[in-house]
Amino acid sequence: MAAQTTVCDFGWKAVDFELEGIDGQNYTLDRVRGPKGTLIMFICNHCPYVKSVIGRIVRDVADLRLKGIGAIAIMPNDTQAYPEDSFENMAAFAAEHGIDFPYAIDRTQAVARAYDAICTPDFFGFDKDLGLQYRGRLDESKTTLVENARRELYEAMTQIAETGEGPRDQIPAMGCSIKWRAA
């Protein structure tokens, strides 16, 4: 089921975490933080929205790294109900798509809840002081590539790196709803 993110709550402070990455290392907010900003993304392996944009996510993270933006992708889904999103499949997905930034699992879903993540993909762009400045989409593509789509996330994070502020007009991300464990 498709879900849409909420409007950016400018200045909201990033919540710390410690999560296991597919490379066997643990990642904290401080470890992935960039000197000019930080991008925290909630993605998964099976979502058609993520599958359609993962190549552009990898490209944009690489380009943003050169601008001082740190990044992490977090997989929040219930892996019992969605085995395609298992830790082992995360590693295979990362290898297949050339993910060269931390990809970590949120086994308890506590981090996704702390961030009020709604869908995959869900993008949180923070300034150098970890204040939220972007909660929008990657670009106008959904499950089908839009040729020459404006790089909205990239442009927003570049603006944050250069000015400390995100764009005031943001279009919410859309994707598959996060697969929460039954209460």
The answer to whether 4 and 119 have CB atoms below 8 angstroms apart is yes
Mean pLDDT across the chain: 94
pTM: 0.95
**Which residue stretches of the chain have pLDDT < 70?**
1-2
CATH number of 2-177: 3.40.30.10
pLDDT digits (tens, 9 = 90+) for 56-86: 999 999 999 999 999 999 999 999 999 999 9
Q: What is the pLDDT of residue 86?
A: 98
What percent of the chain lies above the pLDDT cut of 70? 98
Dig out the tokens for 168 from the structure: 């005031």
Nearest one of 73, 83, 173 to 119, comparing CA atoms: 173
Q: What is the pLDDT of residue 77?
A: 98
Phi-psi label, residue 173: left if phi above 0, alpha if psi -120 to 50, beta otherwise = beta
Q: What is the pLDDT of residue 98?
A: 98
| Domain residue extents for the chain | 2-177
Q: What is the pLDDT of residue 33?
A: 98
Cα–Cα distance, 120 to 48 (Å, whole number):
9
The answer to whether 105 and 20 have CB atoms below 8 angstroms apart is yes
Dig out the tokens for 55 from the structure: 């190549």
Cα–Cα distance, 15 to 44 (Å, whole number):
20
